[in-house]
Amino acid sequence: AQRVTQPEKLLSVFKGAPVELKCNYSYSGSPELFWYVQYSRQRLQLLLRHISRESIKGFTADLNKGETSFHLKKPFAQEEDSAMYYCALRAGSARQLTFGSGTQLTVLP
């Protein structure tokens, strides 16, 4: 069975500082990895997916199959980045997502 681990429940950084939200996964096959963001009282939104290899709102994430990681990074955090971030995995031909426990990011002024 697949599993997603986000080791940090809470993460605080100052505005302008780099930020990295960690995500590790376990899955024997070839996974599809996603980062979703949930701003306060708003819907869960897709931020990044590994197959797109794009940068959204300054965030990037690289799938490292050797380390089974998909860490989310941003070089200069902004206050509006404060939100709950979920790493998620879709396994093989499955339709559903398996979510990590989430990291609450707070960007301090």
Residues that bind other proteins (CB under 8 A): 36, 42-46, 49, 51, 84, 86, 90, 93, 95-97, 99-102, 104
Of 15 and 56, which has the nearer Cβ to other proteins?
56
Of 45 and 78, which has the nearer Cβ to other proteins?
45
* Least distance in angstroms from the C-beta of 86 to other proteins: 6
Which secondary-structure segment (H or E) carries 66? none
* Least distance in angstroms from the C-beta of 10 to other proteins: 10
Alpha-carbon distance of 59 to 94, in angstroms, equals 26
Of 64 and 101, which has the nearer Cβ to other proteins?
101
* Least distance in angstroms from the C-beta of 29 to other proteins: 13
Alpha-carbon distance of 82 to 14, in angstroms, equals 11
Question: First CA to last CA across the chain, in angstroms?
Answer: 41
Alpha-carbon distance of 95 to 76, in angstroms, equals 34
Alpha-carbon distance of 32 to 54, in angstroms, equals 15
Of 102 and 105, which has the nearer Cβ to other proteins?
102
